[in-house]
Amino acid sequence: MARRPQPVEAAQPVLRARVVAAFGRHFLADDGGAEPRACIVRGRRSDVACGDWVMLQPGDPATIERVLPRRNALWREDAWRSKVFAANLDLLLVVTAAEPAPNLELVGRALVAASAQDLQALVVLNKCELPATQALLRRLQPLRDCGYPLLEVSAAAQPRQAVEQLLPWLQERSSLLIGASGVGKSTLANALIPGLHARTGDISRALDSGRHTTTSTRLWPIPGLPDGSALLDSPGFQAFGLNHLSVSQLQHALPELALRNGSCRFHNCTHREEPGCAVRDAVARGEIDGERYALYLRILQELLQAQRHPKA
Ligand SMILES: Nc1nc2c(ncn2[C@@H]2O[C@H](COP(=O)(O)OP(=O)(O)OP(=O)(O)O)[C@@H](O)[C@H]2O)c(=O)[nH]1
Ligand SMILES: [Mg+2]
Ligand SMILES: [Zn+2]
């Protein structure tokens, strides 16, 4: 008996696209068309982040079928969970400024997150026309000493110069602006991308309301640069997800510690109380900055704690 031929499923056109914005389960993805496409994610999967490459099933809205493997990712952490907020980056622009009161803890942690993901990082000291910049520069010197480049810019007072200084770093890469609320990330994005008109905020209003002016991470192509040059603006925030790091990854993520890797008496030295610790010796001799060492100890403590009590 002849079997009825099974209907052949029509080959589904699937598009490769990059997520440029994520709002809960709704996304915008750029597939090379004139405008990014609205899309949703199939099932309950919600760990799709800005910068992810995805396979889309066209439709209205389109559906994200699959998230392609990530080169790297950054996590945001709160008391309950950690969540990826940006993926597939090449450069981290860690923005700081003399006003509002600089958060060097956040700067240090962002640099650790970058190194741990093999991501090049740059410190951008914005609002450099403010007199308090000189004092901040002295506090940032230990970061320069361990090799992080630092650019002094003024996005509001001298946007053209800021753009000139930044553009050479942004060619054919995905660069993420990160830093505390009010340091001027969106003002920098507006200078780099004419016509963007990203909302920028009055600091006192933002701080009073406890709200950030930018509320979600966005990715934009940078006009005038080759394809593949993208800038990501993110909301200012306090806590970086570092708890997924191993002790060894953390030790390699601080260049001045990584340099002394293997020099301690014990190969698995945590650089706390162990005798014959090359890192503590270097701190005592002033070759490693005491604040940086203290930051290492704080992060170490946190990740050991988190590994004992994992979050959901
Ligand atoms: N004096 C001075 N003010 C600046 C400069 N760049 C930005 N600002 C001001 O700083 C304030 C905050 O700027 P935003 O660009 O909104 O800061 P943000 O980092 O994007 O803040 P969030 O989106 O809340 O994370 C605004 O009032 C800007 O005008 C600068 O170079 N100098
Ligand atoms: Mg902003
Ligand atoms: Zn040691």
Pair (78, 222) in one structural domain: yes
Nearest residue by C-alpha to atom 15 in ligand 1: 184
pLDDT at 5 over 80: no
Pair (169, 56) in one structural domain: no
Looking from the CA of residue 233, the nearest atom of ligand 1 is 20
Residues 67 and 16: their CA atoms lie apart, in Å, by 10
Is residue 9 in a domain? no
Per-residue pLDDT band for 209 (boundaries 50, 70, 90) equals very low
CA torsion sign for 263, 269, 272, 273 is negative
Pair (136, 221) in one structural domain: yes
Is residue 7 in a domain? no
Pair (45, 96) in one structural domain: no
CATH code of residue 155: 3.40.50.300
Total domain count, the chain:
3
Pair (83, 44) in one structural domain: no
pLDDT at 42 over 70: yes
Pair (80, 214) in one structural domain: yes
pLDDT of residue 189: 95
Pair (26, 156) in one structural domain: no
Nearest residue by C-alpha to atom 14 in ligand 1: 184
Kindly give the distance from the C-alpha atom of residue 303 to the centroid of ligand 2, in angstroms, as a whole number.
29
Kindly give the distance from the C-alpha atom of residue 154 to the centroid of ligand 1, in angstroms, as a whole number.
10
Residues 211 and 122: their CA atoms lie apart, in Å, by 26
Most confident by average pLDDT, 8-22, 120-134, 220-234, 298-312: 120-134
Pair (100, 176) in one structural domain: yes
SS3 of residue 156 by DSSP: coil
pLDDT at 198 over 60: yes
Residues 111 and 108: their CA atoms lie apart, in Å, by 5
Is residue 242 in a domain? no
Is residue 149 in a domain? yes
Nearest residue by C-alpha to atom 30 in ligand 1: 127
* Average pLDDT of the residues in 142-148: 95
Is residue 279 in a domain? yes
Is residue 10 in a domain? no
What six digits make up the tokens of 149?
């480049």
- Helix (H), strand (E), coil (C) string for 254-302: CHHHHCCCCCCCCCCCCCCCCCCCHHHHHHHCCCCCHHHHHHHHHHHHH
pLDDT of residue 220: 94
Of 23, 40, 67, at which residue does a domain stop?
67
pLDDT of residue 309: 78
Boundaries of domain holding 36: 15-67
What six digits make up the tokens of 104?
């060097």
pLDDT of residue 207: 47
Of 233, 258, 283, at which residue does a domain stop?
233
- Give ligand 1 pocket residues (Cβ under 6 A): 126-127, 129-130, 154-157, 181-187, 200-203, 206, 212-214, 235-236
Pair (80, 54) in one structural domain: no
pLDDT of residue 208: 46
Beta partners for residue 15, in sequence order: 56
Kindly give the distance from the C-alpha atom of residue 251 to the centroid of ligand 3, in angstroms, as a whole number.
10
CATH code of residue 62: 2.40.50.140
Pair (141, 36) in one structural domain: no
- Describe the chain by its helix, strand, coil percentages, rounded to 5: 30, 25, 50
pLDDT of residue 75: 87
Q: Which of 103, 183, 187, 204 to mutate to test the pocket of ligand 1 (most atoms within 8 A of CB)?
A: 187
Kindly give the distance from the C-alpha atom of residue 278 to the centroid of ligand 3, in angstroms, as a whole number.
5
* Ion ligand 2 neighbours, Cβ < 5 Å: 185-186, 213-214
CATH code of residue 254: 1.10.40.50
Ligand nearest to C-alpha 264: 3
pLDDT of residue 240: 75
Is residue 52 in a domain? yes
Pair (125, 207) in one structural domain: yes
pTM check: above 0.85: yes
Residues 41 and 24: their CA atoms lie apart, in Å, by 10
Pair (83, 228) in one structural domain: yes
Is residue 239 in a domain? no
pLDDT tens, residue by residue, 46-87: 689 999 999 999 998 999 999 999 999 998 876 677 788 999
Residue spans of alpha helices (H) in 117-263: 133-145, 159-170, 185-192, 203-209, 247-253, 255-258
Contact criterion met (CB below 8 Å) for 292 and 256: yes
- Residue labelled with tokens 């003002």: 187
